[in-house]
């Protein structure tokens, strides 16, 4: 796996590309280091990666269980240390599912999706980050 990152302006606005897509991801730093709000911050990208990776697997497992998923969203929050580097110490995810979904199947699917199949979760957990999740079904 390989990506490319290029500087876009005189500040810290970057653009990332991957061979798997034509989409360009814009990344920017905080105002303290010259960021101008032109992209997401690197640590936000990590939370996005965790939420999307877990969601992909959750959707796949629920579909295999023949659950009727009409919609899914995930909210991801994190705590960071006050020291430099300000690494994550805890992350909480809330999966919001809509459809005709058996709560017991959703719980089992989330356990597998997050803790077994999501490589982003496993990488962060191996680094000592405490990751938890909850499921809401509407």
pLDDT for position 63: 97
Percentage above 70 pLDDT, the chain: 100
Cα three-residue angle 108-61-78, rounded to 5 degrees: 65
Mean pLDDT in the chain?
A: 97
pLDDT for position 3: 97
| pLDDT tens track for 93-137 | 999 999 999 999 999 999 999 999 999 999 999 999 999 999 999
- Rounded CA-CA distance 86/32 in Å is 15
- Rounded CA-CA distance 4/25 in Å is 10
| pLDDT tens track for 24-36 | 999 999 999 999 9
Q: What is the pTM of this model?
A: 0.93
Spatial neighbors of 19 by CB under 8 A, at least 6 apart, are 2
Task: Report whether 28 contacts 37 (CB < 8 A).
Answer: yes
Cα three-residue angle 127-131-137, rounded to 5 degrees: 155
Nearest to 123 by CA among 79, 83, 91: 91
Cross-strand pairs, 97: 72, 137
Cα three-residue angle 56-62-136, rounded to 5 degrees: 85
- Report the C-alpha dihedral over residues 91, 96, 101, 106, rounded to 10 degrees: 0
pLDDT for position 39: 97
């Amino acid at each position: 796996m390989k990506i490319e990152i290029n500087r876009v302006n005189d500040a810290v606005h970057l653009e990332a590309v991957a061979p798997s897509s034509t989409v360009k991801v814009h990344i920017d730093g905080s105002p303290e280091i010259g960021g101008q709000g032109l992209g997401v911050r690197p640590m936000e990208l990590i939370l996005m990666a965790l939420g999307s990776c877990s969601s992909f697997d959750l959707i796949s497992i629920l579909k295999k269980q023949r659950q009727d998923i009409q919609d899914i969203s995930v909210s991801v929050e994190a705590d960071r240390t006050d020291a430099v580097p300000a690494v994550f110490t805890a992350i909480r995810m809330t999966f919001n599912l809509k459809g005709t979904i058996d709560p017991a199947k959703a719980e089992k699917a989330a356990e597998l999706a997050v803790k077994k199949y999501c490589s982003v979760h496993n990488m962060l957990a191996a680094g000592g980050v405490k990751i938890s999740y909850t499921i809401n079904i509407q």
